[in-house]
Amino acid sequence: MSEHWVNSVRAEYTSSGVRHVEGGWPKDINMSDPEATQRYRRKIEKDDAYIHAVMHLGHSMEHNILQNNAVDMYETYCTELPTIPPVENSGCHTVNVYREPEGRRPIRSLSWQADGGAKLAVAHADIELTRNSRSPQYSYIWDIENANAPELVIKPPQPLLDLIYNPRDPHLIIGGMMNGQVGWWDTRKGGDPAGVCPPHVAHRDIARNVLFINSKIGAEFFSASPDGVVKWWDTRNMSEPTDSMIIDIVKSVTDTQCIDNAIGISALEYEPTIPTRFMVGTETGLVIGGNRKGKNSVEKLPTKYEAHLGPVYALQRNPTFVKNFLTVGDWTARVWSEDCRESAILWTYSHRTKLTDGAWNPIRFSLMLVTQWDGCLSCWDLLRRRSAPLVTAQLCDEPLLRLRPHEGGLLVACGSSKGTVYLAELSENLGTADKNDKQLLTHVLDRENKRERILEARMRELRLKMRQGGNQGEPAVENDPTANDKDLEEATTEYMQTINELQAQQKTET
C-alpha cells in the first residue's frame, strides 16, 4: 500500500473598504474645515483647464437635461380611455353536506333560523311509505358548523311535511304532519312537541304547508292541505283553529263554498307587510289570492291566475317588489304581476327535467334560485341575462326537492330525495346587490308589465270582435275596452313621435 498526501498552501483573505463621503480632496486640505474647502474650490474654478472642461461637457449635459424635462417619468398613460368594469366570475360550489342519521327519506321542508342564525330545520317524510310503522318519523335541526350529527332531534307523533322557524322567536318551530295535524315545538325543552291539535279538528289530508302570520306576540300561524282548506291556529290554544277558509271559487255572492268542490293546495305564501292577504298554489295549476277579512265568498278569493298545467310546487313574492311573485311548476319558472292576470310577465324556457322548487334571493332581489329533478341548482338573474341561467351547479345525482336561501344571501340549503342537505355558497356578485339594481329592476318589471297589459287589451279587443262578428249591423268599435287604456294610449303616442322624428331626420339629410 502506498501513502499519498498533499500539503496545500493556505490562502488568507481580508475585507477592507473606504468610506467615500465627498469628492477626492488633497491630503493637505481638511475636508471638515469649510473655509479650507471653499478656498480650494475658488482656486480650482480660476484654473483654465477647469473652464475648458466645463465648456466641453456643458453641451452633452444640457442635451440630457432637456431630454429628461421633456419626458414625464411619473405620467400615467391612457387615462383618457374609459374604465373597463371588472370581469365577474359567477359561481356556486358546495361547502358542506348533512346526511340523515337514520334511513334515506326525502326532504320535505327546509327552514333557517331567524335573524341570520346558523341553524337549519329539516323535515323528512316518505309519503309513499306512510303506513309503514317501522319507518322513522324524526326530523332534525342542524348546526351548519357541525355536519357530523344533528343538534336536536324533533320527535313528532307523525312524520313532518313542513317545519318552519318563528321569525320573532328563534326557539319556536311549527310543523305540519302526515295525518293532517299541526303542532309546535320549543327547542329549549327538547324534541317533544309542546302542543298538537286534536285529530278531529285537523286537516282531512296531509298538512303540507304551515306559515307564521303577522301578529302582536308572534304566536299565530296558518296551515294548508290538499283537502282544500286553510286553517288559522294559535299556539296558546291548539284545541281548535281560530278560523278556516275553503278554497272553492264561486261565481256569485249568493253561491256557497263547498268542501266537496275545494281545490287541493300545494303551495302557500304569506307577506307580513300585507297581514290580511295570502296566496295559495293549487294542484290544478292555479294561483289564488285570498283575503282573510273578506265579507263574502267572492271577496275572500278575489284573484285567480292560471299559472301552470300541473301542480304549483313553489310560490313566493319578491322581497322588494311585493306585487311580483314567482311560481314554479311543470318545467318552467314564471314571474307574475298582480296587475296582469292572464299571463306571466317573465318566464324561463321549458327545461328537459322537472323543476321542483324556487325562491328569490333575499339580498340580491333580481336573482331566482331554482332546483331541478336532475340534481342541479340554477341561478337566474333578471338584470344580467333572462334567456338562460347565469350559473347551473350540479350538486348531486339524485333529485333536489327543496331549497331555502339564507338571509345573508350567499348560502343556499338544498334538500334531495335521499335525505341529504347540500349547503351551497354563491359567489360574491350573486349574493350582493348594487346601488342601482333596484332602479334597474323597477324599469324591467314596469316595461314587461306594460307590454303584457297592452297585449291583454289587444286580446280583449279581438275577442270582442269575434263575439260581434255575426252581428254586422252593429259596429264592433262600440264598447271598445281599449278606449280608456292609458298604457295603450301612451305607447301609441310614443310610437308616433318616434316615427315623426325619423321622417324629419331623413328629410334633413336628403
Q: Check which CATH number belongs to the domain holding 379 and give it.
A: 2.130.10.10
Q: Examine residue 330 and state whether it is found in any structural domain, yes or no.
A: yes
On whether both 361 and 472 belong to a single domain, the answer is no
Burial 262-300 (b: 16+ CB within 10 A, else e): bbbbbbbbbbeeeeebbbbbbbebbbbbbbeeeeebeeb
* Full residue range of the structural domain in which residue 464 is found: 448-504
Q: Examine residue 79 and state whether it is found in any structural domain, yes or no.
A: no
On whether both 315 and 189 belong to a single domain, the answer is yes
Q: Examine residue 176 and state whether it is found in any structural domain, yes or no.
A: yes
Instruction: Say which residues have a Cβ less than 8 Å from residue 224's Cβ, sequence separation at least 6.
Output: 207, 208, 209, 210, 230, 265, 268, 280
How many domains, in total, are found in the chain? 2
End-of-domain residue from the set 381, 404, 433: 433
End-of-domain residue from the set 433, 459, 477: 433
> CA-to-CA distance for 41 and 20, rounded, in angstroms?
19
pTM for the model stands at 0.73
Q: Examine residue 267 and state whether it is found in any structural domain, yes or no.
A: yes
Q: pLDDT 10s per residue in the chain (510 long)?
A: 566 667 777 788 888 877 666 667 788 888 888 898 888 888 888 888 888 888 888 888 888 888 888 877 777 777 777 877 767 788 899 999 999 888 788 999 999 998 888 899 999 988 875 555 566 788 999 999 988 999 999 999 999 999 999 998 889 999 999 989 999 999 999 889 999 999 999 999 999 999 999 988 888 999 999 999 999 999 999 999 999 999 988 888 878 888 888 999 999 999 998 888 999 999 999 999 999 888 888 888 889 999 899 999 999 999 999 999 999 998 999 999 988 888 889 999 888 899 999 999 999 999 999 999 999 999 999 998 888 899 999 999 999 999 999 998 899 999 999 999 999 999 988 888 888 889 999 999 999 989 888 888 888 888 888 888 755 544 444 445 455 566 777 888 888 888 888 888 888 876
Interior angle at CA 339, CA 403 and CA 279, nearest 5: 40
Q: Examine residue 290 and state whether it is found in any structural domain, yes or no.
A: yes
Beta pairing partners, 142: 120
On whether both 248 and 273 belong to a single domain, the answer is yes
Asked if residue 346 lies in contact with residue 368, where contact means CB atoms within 8 angstroms, the answer is: no
End-of-domain residue from the set 433, 462, 482: 433
On whether both 424 and 459 belong to a single domain, the answer is no
On whether both 496 and 400 belong to a single domain, the answer is no
On whether both 353 and 393 belong to a single domain, the answer is yes
On whether both 340 and 423 belong to a single domain, the answer is yes
Q: Examine residue 77 and state whether it is found in any structural domain, yes or no.
A: no
On whether both 206 and 291 belong to a single domain, the answer is yes
> CA-to-CA distance for 155 and 173, rounded, in angstroms?
12
On whether both 248 and 315 belong to a single domain, the answer is yes
Q: Examine residue 70 and state whether it is found in any structural domain, yes or no.
A: no
On whether both 463 and 394 belong to a single domain, the answer is no
On whether both 405 and 485 belong to a single domain, the answer is no
Q: Examine residue 10 and state whether it is found in any structural domain, yes or no.
A: no
On whether both 362 and 479 belong to a single domain, the answer is no
